A and B are shown apart, each in its own frame.
Chain A
């Protein structure tokens, strides 16, 4: 279980990393924490000849809020995000960040790395879909903004161009009458989720859901969303029946892959449960309840 031999390069600036990656071409990979990449290399799923370590590039891990905009540097670690003021403000962020893998992985792995891996089992992409996040990306041709929903083309494949790097994640802070919840169903801490669900919703006049985003992780080859499911709930008072119907609709859009973590129909049953659980917690948070969210280990 050792990776194939490779050359290690440490980038000291963003431009330096981009030039080096351009120069080295297809045989190089950007290392942004390595909690996915190194595992792949050990399993020989990937045998890059060069690793360009982004870890020492300054200012890429800043987490800030300006007005109603939240900005997270791509090299912020899971632990840094889970422990940040943003997580205090948005419990859904803490739900997600504090449950990723184990403490060691949370201290090394980064949000940008998780997005760049395009692995549908990663937690952040699912969460960021519920917040309609945008990604700032910089490459040899300059800087552009990509909605998170457009980043992933297919499993393990992004639309990023050669040597293009995600540098920052930005999203609007949800309004005060909004609440969110993220929950994952996992065998144990170091494992990827069997299935996960994130919900961010806004309530007006008591129980009328004025806006909602739902996203599922480990539910197909990409993060799963469903306008149909959201439309069932958007603009209406939430009822048990409508939540059931919306859960049914998004689970119908999912295409979970049977594997050692479960068969397809078991995963659908778990997803259905997770959506309902996440909606329930999100609603209670809208109403001002303090609820500690967590991943379920089973």
Chain B
């Protein structure tokens, strides 16, 4: 007898770990996505900002009368329109300035019918400046007679962070080998493909709607409100698709309140959008730092102490960037088993562009130092670096000096996997020997590792995420989540998790997360937290819905709920997969019964981590993870060109959720890290950016990406969704020191100041040749 296909039992399958495409991918690939930059509202005016174009000055006078008279101009604002509306992490910023503290300071703003009119109006504004001597390095800013940048921040001191654990003097005395170096890491910027943009509109009740690229919509309201003199509750944040963020949208920047101030004054929607040059000049940067690090060990290769004295170039204002030492100190204290740790960081105001947060958040800078010092110590010990790393690698159950509890620690597995896959030890020995031989091209292999929080970071009072999930009469699911999608792939993760729990096709899930009036609280996209926190939230909500559905099915079928499962859009028997009822049919029955029932659940997930306290001793993340990168490179000793031949990455991801999304995150992270290591640099001359364009600021492109060999280590985190940990920042963090260690392996030269541009590498090689053979050496 032929069995009808509809009677075929449905086997249990899982989506976890499968390759699932992002829901937004087809629209983005075909150009259909309407980014915020594409948006046009009826009656919308164009806002433009007049930047100072000088690093430090007083404004003697400003005349906007000619600009105001230009037909098509609706309003011109200057510093007096934002007086007293201080905002920022330490309230040192205003949207429009009465004094210039950095090149891009916003002096005036225009709202006009068209961009052309706005540009013409800008040219009609006359400003008389009195230039002041500036401060362009944090060292200079500390000098006694240094020009003062903010009246209420004496000695140009911004934030200060300190952490001490153990007796440093005793540990130094007990150390047989100490490495002591100063690393200088540079200014880079995010280079989002979508330039910064905000559209603001007020209704007649005084409520502001702002279309924003923000990656933290709820705290964004809190941070934007003081810049406008508003209550945060009167701000609605809309989040259309964005062309990248990478940390750059984790604060409020002046163009956003400017758009709102212009909208308020004109009563019309106003859009402010940066040109590419403005984007380079006015976006936040990664925090440059001077890191004086010392690390010690005993003759048998046991680490004894690490101290780090960090001087940070704050720039002209304090954004979230200068809080990065909170993360820096965690890397300093938690990267390998270091019993004694002293960390001291001081951020100094300068007249440079100011730093914000950037993928890796401080850990990029410190790992450049820690991972190279591990390499140096191994060399001095004459130990295979892998053995040295393994000897000092933490194990599950250990706690760092800052009280990070490493529940599931897979550092040694990451080390072994990366080393084995790349044949690290044999190549490292071979290239070390080949260094002394003749030859234009030198090969090198380098290893670096780091630790990062992977279960959120409780730097706010809450690190939670709210989720609302509803299932309609057709078994289509809508998930309203606080988690923002900024291209990192959370929509795909939530989609996969919900489809997994409810046994429905992926296409039957819609994610809503673009309106702060609809979606519940979330702390934002940062700290590699979203898959972990919002993923847990989505799973918990989906499990509640699933239970409600199975309970209803049990009542109707008289089969116990635990004997039922949801698969392929059906309620089936758990044991054999036999279909019991079509899910949408069940949902309609639930709805249209005498005691009607809708499937509509909420969840608020708050991880069990501890808040970051004043003494910086807390288990502030619900999980931690490690990554190890091995870089294989070839150096052309004639031109200093570094070709990256291959990157082997082994990272503890807890468990793979969406394999394709994870690959994308790791590959993208590596690309950003490679640019930091090799080519990207904001060239500043007395606070003025000399390369505000992609012609002169080199971001690596697809053809320059090396072969990648990715290994996902699954440590199965007990607290993570299905065992997953956060994954996005580590690949950016470990790549630069892996390259630097490889260049050392190839050439015997250490580079303490990235990026390793051809000229810098060539010059170091020539300099060494000159000292070895005299000035006639062939270049």
Chain A: residues with CB nearer than 8 A to chain B?
Answer: 1-2, 185, 187-192, 260-263, 266, 269-270, 272-273, 296-298
10 pairs from A and B in contact (CB 8 Å cutoff): A1-B275, A191-B695, A191-B696, A192-B695, A260-B690, A260-B691, A266-B640, A266-B762, A269-B639, A273-B636
Q: How far is the CA of A2 from the CA of B275 in the complex (A)?
A: 10
Question: Does B763 interact with chain A (Cβ within 8 Å)?
Answer: yes
Per-position contact with A for B749-777: 1 when CB-CB < 8 Å, else 0?
Answer: 00000000011001100100000000000
Distance to closest chain A CB from B407 (angstroms): 43
Distance to closest chain B CB from A254 (angstroms): 14
Q: B763 — nearest CB in chain A belongs to which residue?
A: A266
Q: How far is the CA of A22 from the CA of B701 in the complex (A)?
A: 44
Contacts of A188 in B (CB 8 A): 694, 698-701, 704
Q: How far is the CA of A189 from the CA of B700 in the complex (A)?
A: 10
Question: Does B399 interact with chain A (Cβ within 8 Å)?
Answer: no
Q: With A187-B679, A270-B639, A297-B704 as given contacts, are A1 and B277 in contact (CB-CB < 8 Å)?
A: yes
Q: How far is the CA of A297 from the CA of B699 in the complex (A)?
A: 11
Question: Does B683 interact with chain A (Cβ within 8 Å)?
Answer: yes
Q: For residues 709 through 763 of chain B, which have their beta carbon under 8 Å from a beta carbon of chain A? A: 758-759, 762-763
Q: A267 — nearest CB in chain B belongs to which residue?
A: B759
Q: Is the CB of A260 within 8 A of B696?
A: yes
Contacts of A260 in B (CB 8 A): 683, 690-691, 696
Distance to closest chain A CB from B503 (angstroms): 46
Q: Is the CB of A2 within 8 A of B119?
A: yes
Q: How far is the CA of A191 from the CA of B693 in the complex (A)?
A: 10
Question: Does B276 interact with chain A (Cβ within 8 Å)?
Answer: yes
Q: Is the CB of A190 within 8 A of B695?
A: yes
Contacts of A270 in B (CB 8 A): 639, 758
Closest 3 CB pairs of A and B: A266-B759, A298-B641, A187-B698
Q: How far is the CA of A262 from the CA of B641 in the complex (A)?
A: 13
Q: B700 — nearest CB in chain A belongs to which residue?
A: A188
Q: Which of A191, A261, A266 has the most CB of B within 10 A?
A: A266
Q: A259 — nearest CB in chain B belongs to which residue?
A: B696
Q: A185 — nearest CB in chain B belongs to which residue?
A: B639
Q: How far is the CA of A189 from the CA of B759 in the complex (A)?
A: 18
Q: Which of A188, A192, A298 has the most CB of B within 10 A?
A: A298
Q: B678 — nearest CB in chain A belongs to which residue?
A: A298
Q: How far is the CA of A266 from the CA of B700 in the complex (A)?
A: 21
Question: Does B31 interact with chain A (Cβ within 8 Å)?
Answer: no
Contact of B759 among A1, A263, A273 (CB under 8 A): A263
Distance to closest chain A CB from B484 (angstroms): 30
Q: How far is the CA of A31 from the CA of B642 in the complex (A)?
A: 39
Contacts of A192 in B (CB 8 A): 695
Distance to closest chain A CB from B328 (angstroms): 30
Q: How far is the CA of A20 from the CA of B690 in the complex (A)?
A: 39
Q: Is the CB of A273 within 8 A of B639?
A: yes
Question: Does B779 interact with chain A (Cβ within 8 Å)?
Answer: yes
Q: B690 — nearest CB in chain A belongs to which residue?
A: A260
Contact of B779 among A1, A263, A272 (CB under 8 A): A272
Question: Does B703 interact with chain A (Cβ within 8 Å)?
Answer: yes
Q: How far is the CA of A11 from the CA of B694 in the complex (A)?
A: 33
Q: How far is the CA of A272 from the CA of B637 in the complex (A)?
A: 13
Q: Is the CB of B277 within 8 A of A269?
A: no
Contacts of B766 in A (CB 8 A): 269
Q: How far is the CA of A266 from the CA of B767 in the complex (A)?
A: 12
Q: For residues 104 through 149 of chain B, which have their beta carbon under 8 Å from a beta carbon of chain A? A: 116, 119
Q: B766 — nearest CB in chain A belongs to which residue?
A: A269
Q: Which of B642, B700, B704, B758 has the most CB of A within 10 A?
A: B758
Contacts of B779 in A (CB 8 A): 269, 272
Contacts of A273 in B (CB 8 A): 636, 638-639
Q: Is the CB of A262 within 8 A of B759?
A: yes
Contacts of B698 in A (CB 8 A): 187-188, 191
Distance to closest chain B CB from A8 (angstroms): 16
Q: How far is the CA of A270 from the CA of B639 in the complex (A)?
A: 6
Contact of A297 among B275, B683, B695, B703 (CB under 8 A): B703
Distance to closest chain B CB from A257 (angstroms): 15
Contacts of A298 in B (CB 8 A): 639, 641-642, 679, 758
Distance to closest chain A CB from B120 (angstroms): 10
Per-position contact with A for B668-693: 1 when CB-CB < 8 Å, else 0?
Answer: 00000000000100010000001100
Q: A296 — nearest CB in chain B belongs to which residue?
A: B641
Contacts of A296 in B (CB 8 A): 641
Contact of A189 among B119, B276, B701, B758 (CB under 8 A): B701
Q: How far is the CA of A270 from the CA of B759 in the complex (A)?
A: 9
Contacts of B691 in A (CB 8 A): 260
Distance to closest chain B CB from A123 (angstroms): 15
Q: How far is the CA of A186 from the CA of B220 in the complex (A)?
A: 41
Q: A192 — nearest CB in chain B belongs to which residue?
A: B695
Q: How far is the CA of A187 from the CA of B639 in the complex (A)?
A: 13
Q: How far is the CA of A260 from the CA of B116 in the complex (A)?
A: 31
Q: For residues 610 through 652 of chain B, which have their beta carbon under 8 Å from a beta carbon of chain A? A: 636, 638-642
Contacts of B762 in A (CB 8 A): 266, 269
Contacts of A263 in B (CB 8 A): 759
Q: A186 — nearest CB in chain B belongs to which residue?
A: B698
Q: Which of A2, A185, A188, A263 has the most CB of B within 10 A?
A: A188
Q: How far is the CA of A189 from the CA of B696 in the complex (A)?
A: 11
Contacts of A2 in B (CB 8 A): 116, 119
Q: A5 — nearest CB in chain B belongs to which residue?
A: B116
Q: B641 — nearest CB in chain A belongs to which residue?
A: A298
Q: With A1-B276, A1-B277, A266-B762 as given contacts, are A190 and B683 in contact (CB-CB < 8 Å)?
A: no
